[in-house]
Amino acid sequence: MHIFKLLKTFLQVNIQMSLAYRADTVVNMLLNLMWLGWELLSLSIIFANTNTLGGWGPGELITLLGVFRMVNTLMSAFIWPNTEKFNASVRDGSFDYNLLMPVDSMFLVTFSRITVWRAWEMLLAIGLLVSGISISRDLISLPGFLGFLLLVISGMLIIYSLWIVLIALTFWFTKFDNNVTILQALMDAGRYPISVYPVWLRIIVTFIIPIGVATTIPVQALRGELAGPQVLLFAGVGVIGFWLASRVWRAGVKRYSGASS
């Protein structure tokens, strides 16, 4: 209950900050619609010249785009806004205040800044999912849908864990300002199925920075292409990744010297 109350407080503060700049919020929402239109136009150009892309049809690609936007919304709403603030707090010693709070420091670093207007993008992502499923005319079974939800959550957990590990490196390398640049750059790879990429890039987005696991794999579960054990295996990767990220974070906090040193 304490955590939920704290989340509510963070949300209220960030809503007030967004309302203070209403024009910026409206402009950002319109720009988001523009980029969505560009993405759909790109897909229409592709399928004007071919029937499938890596074995995926238009409906499947729109569904995948919806999943990508869901994952990207998490990153844009909670993760990216807190990166610069965290890096600066380690350098100037203000991270001390997080350690003095009676709440887990990793939780505070993750949720202190929330880009509230990104909730609009989540609605667009759900709309893309529904549209993609309707266009592809796939029969969605209950196990497939449950597996999809589980793997979307697991995929988000994997990306979040990667972010935690990357920013935790700041505890060791104080001037490490570009610690999440590679992760941000590779996020766009999740717009398309893993099968369209060359082998070397497929290995990167599957095993090293598993963007594809967070986007392509959930859609495969939705289409009924994964068996139960496979779904559980990929879900387990998310849990293990989060556990490892937590260990790295704790090791980094122990190394943190504070403002007084």
Q: Is 173 helix (H, G, I), strand (E, B) or coil?
A: coil
Query: 172 is written with which tokens?
Result: 């060791």
Q: Say yes or no to pLDDT of 21 above 80.
A: no
| Residues 85-101, mean pLDDT to the nearest whole number | 83
Structure tokens at 19: 């309302």
Helical spans, DSSP H, in 137-198? 142-168, 181-187
Q: Kindly report, residue by residue over 203-258, the tens digit of the pLDDT.
A: 888 888 888 888 889 988 888 888 888 899 888 988 999 999 999 999 999 888 76
Q: Rounded CA gap, 221 and 231, in Å?
A: 7
Gap between the Cα atoms of 159 and 80, Å rounded = 12
Spatial CA neighbour of 245 closest among 157, 150, 173: 157
Reported as a single tens digit per residue, the pLDDT across 163-208 is 899 888 888 887 766 777 777 777 888 888 888 888 888 888 888 8
Whole-structure pTM value:
0.83
Q: Which residues of 146-180 are buried (b: 16+ CB within 10 A; e: fewer)?
A: ebbebbbebbbbbbbbbbbbbbbebbeeeebeebb
Rounded CA separation 74/69 (Å): 9
First to last CA, the chain: 36
pLDDT at 259: 56
Rounded CA separation 242/250 (Å): 12
**Mean pLDDT of all residues in the chain?**
83
pLDDT of res. 248: 94
Q: What is the tens place of the pLDDT at every residue in 116-151?
A: 878 888 888 889 888 888 887 776 788 888 999 999
Nearest-angstrom CA–CA distance, 256 and 35: 40
